[in-house]
Amino acid sequence: MLSTSTHTTKIVWIVSALLIGFGFTDPERETKVRVAPESEVVISGTTNVNEFTCKYNLEELELPIRLAYDDKAEQIQFSNAKLKLANDCFDCGGKAINKDFRELLQTEEHPQVELRLLYVDPPQPDNQKIGVGMEIKIAGVTRNYETILYCEQQGNICVDGTIPLKLTDFGLEPPRKVLGMIKVHDEIKVQVALRLNEI
């Protein structure tokens, strides 16, 4: 069963944007995209005393990204639209917090965060809003989500948005530090600001 985001997410996941921006409609089509260096993927959260932000080093991202999809009657199904992010490539701003972040994600056993596009609803003319189904895997636990995507094209494809998640949905216990006085809150956010080019 898919979880449903209760608020409108302003542009959620990179690959879906291609359907509007490049107008893909042929069945069983393959293509490749490249993520521009000015792009960002950030995981952020809060504690009872402050905030933390962990930015992914996109230079470590395996490029280009290969996509394959099938144009169905009601939905466009994707077979391999997956983005793998190595936990070790997130920088939270210091060695200690980097270590805490990697421990939280159980990096030794599960070294990657995975985002996979499952399907999108066919885009309508003059309407940048489409429904999206996606799969997120953290610490070996996979959860499916539905949300709304907005797409903008300005020469390349611009994907900007935030996906709210809960650590406990992935079997992760929000950690406590300093004898339990500092507690990480359950909700985290995956923020995406990507610039894509078809190659």
pLDDT one-digit tens code per residue, 109-144: 999 999 887 887 776 677 666 677 888 999 999 999
Count the alpha carbons within 13 Å of 80 in the hemisphere toward its beta carbon.
Answer: 9
3-198 CATH, one of 1.10.1740.10, 3.40.605.10, 2.40.128.110, 3.40.50.2000:
2.40.128.110
Most trustworthy range by pLDDT among 21-25, 38-42, 99-103, 121-125? 99-103
pLDDT value of residue 187 = 95
28-66 residue pLDDT tens: 677 777 777 788 889 999 988 889 999 998 776 666 777
CA distance 157 to 11: 11
For residue 181, give every residue at least 6 positions away whose Cβ sits within 8 Å of its Cβ, in sequence order, or none: none
Q: Which residue has the higher pLDDT, 22 or 150?
A: 150
